[in-house]
Amino acid sequence: MSSYGRCYTKEVNGSSLPDKKPTVVFVLGGPGSGKGTQCANIVQHFGYTHLSAGDLLRAEQNSGSENGEMIKNMIKDGQIVPSEVTVKLLLWAMEESGNDKFLIDGFPRNEENRAAFESVTGIEPEFVLFFDCPEEEMEKRVLNRNQGRADDNIESIRKRFKVYTQSSLPVIEYYDSKGKVRKIDASKPVEEVFEAVKEFFTSLDDKVAA
Ligand SMILES: Nc1ncnc2c1ncn2[C@@H]1O[C@H](COP(=O)(O)OP(=O)(O)OP(=O)(O)O)[C@@H](O)[C@H]1O
Ligand SMILES: Nc1ccn([C@@H]2O[C@H](COP(=O)(O)O)[C@@H](O)[C@H]2O)c(=O)n1
Ligand SMILES: [Mg+2]
Protein backbone atom coordinates (compact mmCIF):
# COMPACT_ATOMS: atom_id res chain seq x y z
CA MET A 1 0.00 0.00 0.00
CA SER A 2 1.57 3.25 -1.08
CA SER A 3 -0.33 5.64 1.18
CA TYR A 4 -3.63 6.05 2.93
CA GLY A 5 -6.22 6.74 0.25
CA ARG A 6 -3.89 9.20 -1.46
CA CYS A 7 -5.72 9.16 -4.80
CA TYR A 8 -9.19 9.50 -3.37
CA THR A 9 -8.79 12.25 -0.82
CA LYS A 10 -9.54 15.80 -1.83
CA GLU A 11 -6.12 17.07 -0.97
CA VAL A 12 -3.22 15.31 0.68
CA ASN A 13 0.30 16.75 0.67
CA GLY A 14 -0.74 19.35 -1.86
CA SER A 15 -1.86 16.84 -4.50
CA SER A 16 -5.49 16.71 -5.51
CA LEU A 17 -7.85 14.09 -6.96
CA PRO A 18 -7.01 12.31 -10.19
CA ASP A 19 -8.34 14.17 -13.28
CA LYS A 20 -11.42 11.99 -13.50
CA LYS A 21 -13.37 11.38 -10.31
CA PRO A 22 -14.34 7.75 -9.75
CA THR A 23 -17.90 6.62 -10.27
CA VAL A 24 -19.44 5.63 -6.94
CA VAL A 25 -22.79 3.94 -6.38
CA PHE A 26 -23.87 3.50 -2.76
CA VAL A 27 -25.82 0.28 -2.18
CA LEU A 28 -28.15 0.54 0.79
CA GLY A 29 -30.98 -1.45 2.37
CA GLY A 30 -31.66 -3.33 5.58
CA PRO A 31 -29.75 -6.36 6.88
CA GLY A 32 -30.48 -9.29 4.57
CA SER A 33 -32.16 -7.20 1.86
CA GLY A 34 -29.77 -8.75 -0.71
CA LYS A 35 -27.11 -6.06 -1.20
CA GLY A 36 -24.15 -8.45 -1.36
CA THR A 37 -26.01 -10.92 -3.58
CA GLN A 38 -26.91 -8.28 -6.15
CA CYS A 39 -23.49 -6.57 -6.01
CA ALA A 40 -21.91 -9.86 -7.13
CA ASN A 41 -24.22 -9.82 -10.18
CA ILE A 42 -23.48 -6.16 -10.96
CA VAL A 43 -19.72 -6.84 -10.81
CA GLN A 44 -20.12 -9.64 -13.39
CA HIS A 45 -22.13 -7.56 -15.83
CA PHE A 46 -20.91 -4.00 -15.40
CA GLY A 47 -17.25 -4.13 -14.31
CA TYR A 48 -17.55 -2.44 -10.94
CA THR A 49 -15.43 -3.21 -7.90
CA HIS A 50 -17.60 -4.27 -4.97
CA LEU A 51 -16.59 -2.90 -1.58
CA SER A 52 -18.71 -4.04 1.35
CA ALA A 53 -18.06 -1.85 4.39
CA GLY A 54 -19.11 -4.74 6.66
CA ASP A 55 -16.69 -7.16 4.93
CA LEU A 56 -13.85 -4.64 5.21
CA LEU A 57 -14.56 -4.19 8.92
CA ARG A 58 -14.67 -7.97 9.49
CA ALA A 59 -11.32 -8.34 7.69
CA GLU A 60 -9.85 -5.53 9.79
CA GLN A 61 -11.17 -7.22 12.94
CA ASN A 62 -9.44 -10.46 11.97
CA SER A 63 -6.17 -8.80 10.96
CA GLY A 64 -4.93 -8.23 14.51
CA SER A 65 -5.56 -4.48 14.20
CA GLU A 66 -5.63 -2.34 17.35
CA ASN A 67 -9.30 -1.66 16.49
CA GLY A 68 -10.14 -5.37 16.29
CA GLU A 69 -11.82 -5.72 19.67
CA MET A 70 -13.84 -2.52 19.25
CA ILE A 71 -15.03 -3.60 15.77
CA LYS A 72 -15.94 -7.08 17.05
CA ASN A 73 -18.06 -5.68 19.89
CA MET A 74 -19.77 -3.09 17.71
CA ILE A 75 -20.67 -5.62 15.00
CA LYS A 76 -22.09 -8.07 17.54
CA ASP A 77 -24.17 -5.20 18.90
CA GLY A 78 -25.22 -3.90 15.48
CA GLN A 79 -23.62 -0.54 16.21
CA ILE A 80 -21.98 1.67 13.60
CA VAL A 81 -18.19 1.83 13.82
CA PRO A 82 -16.73 5.38 13.82
CA SER A 83 -16.35 6.77 10.29
CA GLU A 84 -12.66 7.47 10.81
CA VAL A 85 -12.05 3.69 10.73
CA THR A 86 -14.48 2.77 7.94
CA VAL A 87 -13.64 5.60 5.54
CA LYS A 88 -9.95 4.77 5.83
CA LEU A 89 -10.63 1.11 4.96
CA LEU A 90 -12.77 2.12 1.99
CA LEU A 91 -10.14 4.52 0.64
CA TRP A 92 -7.40 1.91 0.94
CA ALA A 93 -9.53 -0.62 -0.90
CA MET A 94 -10.43 1.87 -3.63
CA GLU A 95 -6.83 2.74 -4.22
CA GLU A 96 -5.70 -0.88 -4.13
CA SER A 97 -8.34 -1.95 -6.70
CA GLY A 98 -6.94 0.12 -9.57
CA ASN A 99 -10.55 0.52 -10.80
CA ASP A 100 -12.52 3.75 -11.11
CA LYS A 101 -16.06 2.32 -10.67
CA PHE A 102 -17.18 1.28 -7.20
CA LEU A 103 -20.21 -0.25 -5.56
CA ILE A 104 -19.99 0.78 -1.95
CA ASP A 105 -22.24 -1.63 -0.08
CA GLY A 106 -23.60 -0.89 3.41
CA PHE A 107 -22.18 2.61 3.49
CA PRO A 108 -23.00 5.37 4.41
CA ARG A 109 -24.86 3.83 7.31
CA ASN A 110 -25.49 7.06 9.23
CA GLU A 111 -25.11 10.81 8.86
CA GLU A 112 -21.60 10.71 10.31
CA ASN A 113 -20.51 8.16 7.62
CA ARG A 114 -22.08 10.27 4.89
CA ALA A 115 -20.52 13.56 5.94
CA ALA A 116 -17.09 12.03 6.59
CA PHE A 117 -16.86 10.37 3.16
CA GLU A 118 -18.01 13.53 1.41
CA SER A 119 -15.62 15.80 3.26
CA VAL A 120 -12.59 13.50 2.88
CA THR A 121 -13.12 12.60 -0.80
CA GLY A 122 -15.42 15.27 -2.25
CA ILE A 123 -17.12 12.38 -4.09
CA GLU A 124 -20.89 12.47 -4.60
CA PRO A 125 -22.52 9.14 -5.48
CA GLU A 126 -23.80 8.75 -9.04
CA PHE A 127 -26.91 7.30 -7.42
CA VAL A 128 -28.01 5.28 -4.39
CA LEU A 129 -29.36 1.81 -5.06
CA PHE A 130 -31.91 1.13 -2.34
CA PHE A 131 -33.09 -2.43 -1.67
CA ASP A 132 -36.48 -2.08 -0.07
CA CYS A 133 -37.60 -5.23 1.74
CA PRO A 134 -40.06 -6.02 4.56
CA GLU A 135 -38.46 -6.74 7.92
CA GLU A 136 -39.99 -10.26 8.23
CA GLU A 137 -38.41 -11.28 4.90
CA MET A 138 -35.02 -9.82 5.87
CA GLU A 139 -35.13 -11.57 9.24
CA LYS A 140 -35.90 -14.91 7.57
CA ARG A 141 -33.04 -14.48 5.09
CA VAL A 142 -30.47 -13.50 7.71
CA LEU A 143 -31.40 -16.37 10.01
CA ASN A 144 -31.00 -18.81 7.09
CA ARG A 145 -27.76 -17.31 5.75
CA ASN A 146 -25.41 -19.80 7.45
CA GLN A 147 -22.19 -17.93 6.76
CA GLY A 148 -21.05 -18.03 10.38
CA ARG A 149 -21.50 -14.31 10.98
CA ALA A 150 -21.43 -13.34 14.66
CA ASP A 151 -24.36 -10.96 14.11
CA ASP A 152 -26.70 -13.42 12.34
CA ASN A 153 -28.64 -14.30 15.48
CA ILE A 154 -32.00 -12.99 16.59
CA GLU A 155 -30.59 -10.76 19.35
CA SER A 156 -28.12 -8.98 17.04
CA ILE A 157 -30.64 -8.81 14.20
CA ARG A 158 -33.17 -6.94 16.33
CA LYS A 159 -30.47 -4.40 17.23
CA ARG A 160 -29.44 -4.07 13.57
CA PHE A 161 -33.03 -3.39 12.51
CA LYS A 162 -33.31 -0.68 15.15
CA VAL A 163 -30.08 1.01 14.04
CA TYR A 164 -31.18 0.70 10.41
CA THR A 165 -34.47 2.48 11.13
CA GLN A 166 -33.01 5.14 13.37
CA SER A 167 -29.73 5.94 11.60
CA SER A 168 -29.62 4.49 8.08
CA LEU A 169 -33.09 5.28 6.71
CA PRO A 170 -32.53 9.03 7.31
CA VAL A 171 -29.47 8.87 5.03
CA ILE A 172 -31.59 7.25 2.31
CA GLU A 173 -34.18 9.99 2.81
CA TYR A 174 -31.44 12.61 2.51
CA TYR A 175 -30.37 11.22 -0.89
CA ASP A 176 -34.00 10.84 -1.93
CA SER A 177 -34.49 14.56 -1.34
CA LYS A 178 -31.65 15.11 -3.82
CA GLY A 179 -33.26 12.82 -6.42
CA LYS A 180 -30.48 10.24 -6.13
CA VAL A 181 -32.34 7.18 -4.85
CA ARG A 182 -33.14 4.28 -7.21
CA LYS A 183 -35.55 2.06 -5.27
CA ILE A 184 -35.89 -1.66 -5.92
CA ASP A 185 -38.47 -4.11 -4.58
CA ALA A 186 -36.00 -6.50 -2.96
CA SER A 187 -38.64 -8.95 -1.72
CA LYS A 188 -38.80 -10.58 -5.17
CA PRO A 189 -36.66 -13.57 -6.26
CA VAL A 190 -32.97 -12.86 -6.93
CA GLU A 191 -33.29 -12.98 -10.74
CA GLU A 192 -36.23 -10.56 -10.81
CA VAL A 193 -34.44 -8.16 -8.50
CA PHE A 194 -31.43 -8.23 -10.81
CA GLU A 195 -33.60 -7.44 -13.85
CA ALA A 196 -34.66 -4.23 -12.09
CA VAL A 197 -31.11 -3.46 -10.97
CA LYS A 198 -29.77 -3.91 -14.51
CA GLU A 199 -31.97 -1.12 -15.86
CA PHE A 200 -30.31 1.49 -13.65
CA PHE A 201 -26.78 0.44 -14.61
CA THR A 202 -27.63 0.20 -18.32
CA SER A 203 -29.04 3.75 -18.18
CA LEU A 204 -25.87 4.97 -16.48
CA ASP A 205 -23.68 3.29 -19.13
CA ASP A 206 -25.80 4.89 -21.87
CA LYS A 207 -25.46 8.30 -20.18
CA VAL A 208 -21.66 7.94 -19.92
CA ALA A 209 -21.39 6.80 -23.57
CA ALA A 210 -23.55 9.67 -24.89
N1 LIG B 1 -34.06 -11.87 -3.58
C2 LIG B 1 -33.77 -12.82 -2.69
N3 LIG B 1 -34.66 -13.78 -2.38
C4 LIG B 1 -34.36 -14.73 -1.46
N5 LIG B 1 -33.18 -14.82 -0.80
C6 LIG B 1 -32.26 -13.88 -1.07
C7 LIG B 1 -32.49 -12.84 -2.02
N8 LIG B 1 -31.39 -12.06 -2.06
C9 LIG B 1 -30.52 -12.57 -1.21
N10 LIG B 1 -31.02 -13.66 -0.61
C11 LIG B 1 -30.39 -14.48 0.44
O12 LIG B 1 -30.56 -13.76 1.66
C13 LIG B 1 -29.38 -13.79 2.45
C14 LIG B 1 -28.88 -12.35 2.68
O15 LIG B 1 -28.46 -11.81 1.45
P16 LIG B 1 -27.21 -10.83 1.37
O17 LIG B 1 -26.08 -11.38 2.15
O18 LIG B 1 -26.99 -10.53 -0.07
O19 LIG B 1 -27.85 -9.55 2.11
P20 LIG B 1 -27.17 -8.20 2.57
O21 LIG B 1 -28.12 -7.12 2.25
O22 LIG B 1 -25.80 -8.09 2.03
O23 LIG B 1 -27.14 -8.40 4.15
P24 LIG B 1 -26.20 -7.75 5.25
O25 LIG B 1 -26.52 -6.30 5.33
O26 LIG B 1 -26.58 -8.45 6.52
O27 LIG B 1 -24.77 -8.00 4.82
C28 LIG B 1 -28.38 -14.68 1.71
O29 LIG B 1 -28.46 -15.98 2.22
C30 LIG B 1 -28.89 -14.64 0.25
O31 LIG B 1 -28.58 -15.81 -0.46
N1 LIG C 1 -20.76 1.53 7.27
C2 LIG C 1 -20.76 0.48 8.11
C3 LIG C 1 -21.09 -0.81 7.67
C4 LIG C 1 -21.12 -1.84 8.58
N5 LIG C 1 -20.81 -1.60 9.87
C6 LIG C 1 -20.82 -2.70 10.88
O7 LIG C 1 -20.74 -3.97 10.26
C8 LIG C 1 -21.94 -4.71 10.52
C9 LIG C 1 -22.26 -5.61 9.40
O10 LIG C 1 -22.47 -4.87 8.21
P11 LIG C 1 -23.11 -5.57 6.91
O12 LIG C 1 -23.28 -4.49 5.90
O13 LIG C 1 -22.14 -6.62 6.47
O14 LIG C 1 -24.41 -6.15 7.36
C15 LIG C 1 -22.99 -3.64 10.84
O16 LIG C 1 -24.08 -4.12 11.58
C17 LIG C 1 -22.14 -2.67 11.66
O18 LIG C 1 -21.91 -3.15 12.96
C19 LIG C 1 -20.47 -0.34 10.28
O20 LIG C 1 -20.18 -0.12 11.46
N21 LIG C 1 -20.44 0.69 9.40
MG1 LIG D 1 -23.91 -7.89 2.97
ipTM (interface predicted TM)? 0.99
pLDDT of 7: 66
pLDDT of 19: 58
Domain 14-200 has CATH 3.40.50.1100: no
Question: Are the beta carbons of 71 and 20 closer than 8 angstroms?
Answer: no
pLDDT of 4: 45
How far away, in angstroms, is 17 Cα from ligand 1 center? 35
Question: Are the beta carbons of 113 and 80 closer than 8 angstroms?
Answer: yes
pLDDT of 13: 41
Give the separation between CA 68 and CA 72, rounded to whole angstroms: 6
Residue ranges of the domains in the chain?
A: 14-200
Query: What DSSP string runs through 51-91?
Result: EEHHHHHHHHHTTT-TTHHHHHHHHHTTPPPPHHHHHHHHH
**Across the 210 residues of the chain, what is the mean pLDDT of every consecutive 10-residue run?**
54 51 97 98 97 98 96 98 98 96 98 98 97 98 97 98 98 98 98 98 87
Residue nearest to atom 26 of ligand 1 (CA): 31
pLDDT of 203: 86
Give the separation between CA 201 and CA 195, rounded to whole angstroms: 10
Question: Which residues line ligand 2 at a C-beta cut-off of 6 Å?
Answer: 31, 52-54, 57, 74-75, 78-81, 86, 106-107, 109, 113, 151, 160
